[in-house]
Amino acid sequence: MKLSTVSSALLGAAASAYAATSSTLPAISVVGNKFFNEDGSQFFIKGIAYQLSQADPLLDGDQCARDVALMKTLGANTIRVYHVDPTKDHTSCMDAFASAGIYTLIDLDTFDTYILDPTMAGPSWTGLQYARYADVMDAFADYTNVLGFFVGNEVISLLNQSLAAPYIKAAAHDMKAYRDSKKYRKFPIGYSAADIAELRPMLQDYLTCGGDDADIVDFFSLNSYEWCDPNTYVGSGYQNLEKQAADFPVPIFFSETGCNVPGPRLFADQASILGPDMDGDWSGAIIYEWIQEANDYGLITYGDGSASDDGPRSGTPTPMTPDFANLKSQWATLNPTGVSKSDYDSKTISTRSCPASTAGGWEVDGNVAIPTLGPAGLSSAANAPSGTFAMPTNQGNAATTTASKATGTGGTSPSGTASGTAAGSSESAKSSATSLKSLSVFNREFTAAGAALVGVMMVFTLWL
């Protein structure tokens, strides 16, 4: 009932302080494999996946202000947003987040520009994709609270999709070149990977190998649901993740985490990520996700909190119990200091060699040429309707696309580290539910009950 008062007060504050908020929230910089605040202290991500519906969640400043107020009490300093509309003005939301000291990680792809989805015969990186990615970058480049951009999320979601990796690298190369050609701040441009144990070490090495900084991702991040409470650093598989990330060439962090089976979530993994187990190599984590949906990962709800995709997508956020409080108390105790910029010797980072291919596994053999487009790629798309934001015309097809991807992830990623552990069996359910994020927001009819059906559909639609 006090909603309008609170939100307008917040909005008023955000609006009146506009010049002093997003335009002056100091940008985070990258040195070696670490993020640094302007004062030279190390920055660790305490993040939340924030995508309220299929629509861009950064357009309604009133809603952002309501969410920011609660997110602040949680201790978050970053959000991740999966899809934005580059033709719209994001200032009110970006300012609302900036006023609370919250940074943003933005996916450059939109629903129609994926590098690979299961309806495609193979991966692609075209002038049209380049132009659409550039639109998104242009729309956000001037906000100092942009922490970075993703060139893709779970582009490789099946064991047999590793040949898409050079396309991811090409997209990173071209978008970095675009950033520099526009003289934008050197915000990092990276990739968010599905946790496929058989590919992960090769993928993270491949995306950072080759010896040319222009070609590599500026950060690598992992969507991982290996740690389901109760668990431990060793039992979860995180110890293995840490081993593979030692002295990583660029920042590495969790771009999704928060296993919810069997529940309740204790978020005990945060103590490993943001503590001595891992904080020497990892830069924090993004918790999946803010809004409660059918997949049951919500930290808040705008409705009654039922695990459904039919609930309200805006309103006054109410914490989900006990997840919200559990995360809040974890984060409250975790304040890693890391290393200061002046004390940090970035020469301690490793270099990675480009992995050789292996039969039935990683299929990219060494440092293969990447299909970059170069500046010509952008001009070749000059006739493309730049600035438009077309959703796929065939909704059924699109929904199947995302569902297939989700199911594929679930079927594949758990097979590695988690297999053989108690968490293993629940892992696949978790992972598939997780990647339903895009789907559930994309196609409201897709409910938990429909998951099995889509799983079956996936078999027939993959690679069509």
Ligand X SMILES: *[C@@H]1O[C@H](CO)[C@@H](O)[C@H](O)[C@H]1NC(C)=O
Instruction: Out of 154, 289, 293, 427, pick the active-site residue.
Output: 154
**160 makes contact with ligand X (CB under 6 A):** yes
- Give the binding-site size for ligand X (rule: CB under 6 A): 4
Q: Kindly state the smallest distance separating residue 160's Cβ from ligand X, in Å.
A: 4
Q: Kindly state the smallest distance separating residue 455's Cβ from ligand X, in Å.
A: 12
SS (H, E, C) the chain: CCHHHHHHHHHHHHHHCHHHCCCCCCCCEEECCEEECCCCCEECEEEEECCCCCCCCCCCHHHHHHHHHHHHHHCCCEEEECCCCCCCCCHHHHHHHHHCCCEEEEECCCCCCCCCCCCCCCCCCCHHHHHHHHHHHHHHCCCCCEEEEEEEECCCCCHHHHHHHHHHHHHHHHHHHHHHHCCCCCCCEEEEEECCCCCHHHHHHHCCCCCCCCCCCCCEEEECCCCCCCCCHHHHCHHHHHHHHCCCCCCEEEEEECCCCCCCCCCCHHHHHCCCCCCCCEEEEEECCCECCCCCCCCEECCCCCCCCCCCCCCCCEECCCHHHHHHHHHHHCCCCCCCCCCCCHHHCCCCCCCCCCCCCCCCCCCCCCCCCHHHHHHHCCCCCCCCCCCCCCHHHHHHHHHHHHHHHHHHHHHCCCCCCHHHHHHHHHHHHHHHHHHHHHCCCCCHHHHHHHHHHHHHHCCC
Q: Which residue is nearest to ligand X (CB)?
A: 160
Q: Kindly state the smallest distance separating residue 118's Cβ from ligand X, in Å.
A: 9
CA dihedral 47, 50, 56, 59 (to 10 degrees): -80
289 tagged catalytic: no
Query: Strands 34-36 and 29-31, how do they pair?
Result: antiparallel
Binding to ligand X (CB under 6 A): which residues in 74-103?
none
Q: Kindly state the smallest distance separating residue 235's Cβ from ligand X, in Å.
A: 27
Query: Closer to ligand X at the Cβ: 37 or 160?
Result: 160
Query: Closer to ligand X at the Cβ: 300 or 403?
Result: 403
Query: Closer to ligand X at the Cβ: 157 or 434?
Result: 157
Binding to ligand X (CB under 6 A): which residues in 377-436?
none
Query: Closer to ligand X at the Cβ: 1 or 359?
Result: 359
Binding to ligand X (CB under 6 A): which residues in 293-332?
none
Please give the structure tokens belonging to residue 401.
């696309």
Of 271, 315, 285, whose CA–CA distance to 53 is shortest?
A: 315
Instruction: Out of 256, 289, 293, 427, pick the active-site residue.
Output: 256
Q: Kindly state the smallest distance separating residue 123's Cβ from ligand X, in Å.
A: 12
Beta carbons of 315 and 53 less than 8 angstroms apart = no
Binding to ligand X (CB under 6 A): which residues in 168-227?
none
Q: Kindly state the smallest distance separating residue 158's Cβ from ligand X, in Å.
A: 5
CA distances from 219 to 57, 104, 283 (A): 24, 15, 10
Query: Closer to ligand X at the Cβ: 304 or 463?
Result: 463
Binding to ligand X (CB under 6 A): which residues in 444-463?
462-463
Strand partners, 318: 301
198 tagged catalytic: no
Given 158, 228, 250, 259, the residue binding ligand X (CB under 6 A): 158
Query: Closer to ligand X at the Cβ: 246 or 464?
Result: 464
The site map against ligand X for 107-146 (x = CB under 6 A) is: ----------------------------------------
Query: Closer to ligand X at the Cβ: 102 or 462?
Result: 462
Q: Kindly state the smallest distance separating residue 113's Cβ from ligand X, in Å.
A: 22
Question: CA angle at residue 191 from 176 to 129, to 5 degrees?
Answer: 60
Query: Closer to ligand X at the Cβ: 188 or 408?
Result: 408
Q: Kindly state the smallest distance separating residue 458's Cβ from ligand X, in Å.
A: 8
Q: Kindly state the smallest distance separating residue 194's Cβ from ligand X, in Å.
A: 13
Query: Closer to ligand X at the Cβ: 65 or 194?
Result: 194
Binding to ligand X (CB under 6 A): which residues in 275-294?
none
* Binding region for ligand X (CB under 6 A): 158, 160, 462-463
Annotated active-site positions, please?
Answer: 154, 256
